[in-house]
Amino acid sequence: MDMVTTFCMLIVGLTSWIAGDSSLDTSSYDCRSDIIALKRQVESLQRQNAEILNIIKLLGNEDGEENSFGKRLLLPVSTIVPPTAVAFSAALKHNIQLGQDQIIEFDTVITNIGNAFDTRHSHFTAPVKGIYLFSGSLFAAPGYYAHVDIVKNGNAIGYLYAYSNHHISTETIVVTLETGDMVWIKHRGDAVGQSLIEGKNVERFNTFSGVLIRQLE
């Protein structure tokens, strides 16, 4: 191999080495650019997270506690308690001669969602604490009259009075109940022997209904 050929080979090898080293520098430069871009994205996300935390703090009340909205943001979905469905409606299909403090036993159950209404004794027992609405209607047979109370745990919270000549009395009341509280309708007992309420298969004159409006914690 002559000197010229050897010199040419050295030149080619040196050129290839320089080109390869330049490629490495370019690759290293590209990686640094990617790292800088990722760092900027992380900093942006950190700023957004700080802004969200500040918003949650602002949603708190004066004592610094989160309000219900803030709590829902922080709590997992599994901890949210679904609402309880409670509703009933019952009617009377036969006549009853009412005695002293007699509980009216409604023998036709139309609705009993949640099974909170005792179909044997016509007592409603609150399955959960909440705001409830109750209503009743009273119809006395011709020639008779009746005076009954809507009762909560033995204390009257509503009143119905019906006299003859096809008079119907109704009452609607909203009340807060604790779990286990009971509500029913009973005869007041001030006209024993003169109180006869009328029930029929089709026309539902004497009724008792209730529904849970909102469950409370």
* pTM greater than 0.75: no
Backbone angles phi, psi at 14, to 5 degrees: -65, -40
Return the domain boundaries, the chain.
3-78, 87-215
As assigned by CATH, the class of the 87-215 domain is mainly beta
Please give the chain's pLDDT, 217 residues, in tens.
Answer: 554 444 445 444 544 544 555 444 555 556 777 777 777 777 777 777 777 777 777 766 544 544 554 454 444 444 445 568 999 999 999 898 998 899 999 999 999 999 999 989 999 999 999 999 999 999 988 888 889 999 999 999 999 998 876 788 999 999 999 999 999 999 987 666 678 888 877 778 899 999 999 999 8
Spatial distance between the Cα atoms of 39 and 49, rounded to a whole number of angstroms = 15
Structure tokens, 105: 């036993």
Q: What long-range pairs does 48-54 form, CB within 8 A, spacing at least 24?
A: none
Q: Give CA–CA dist 87/133, Å, rounded.
A: 9
Query: Residues in the chain, how many?
Result: 217
What's phi and psi for 123, nearest 5 deg?
A: -100, 140
Amino acid at residue number 197 = I
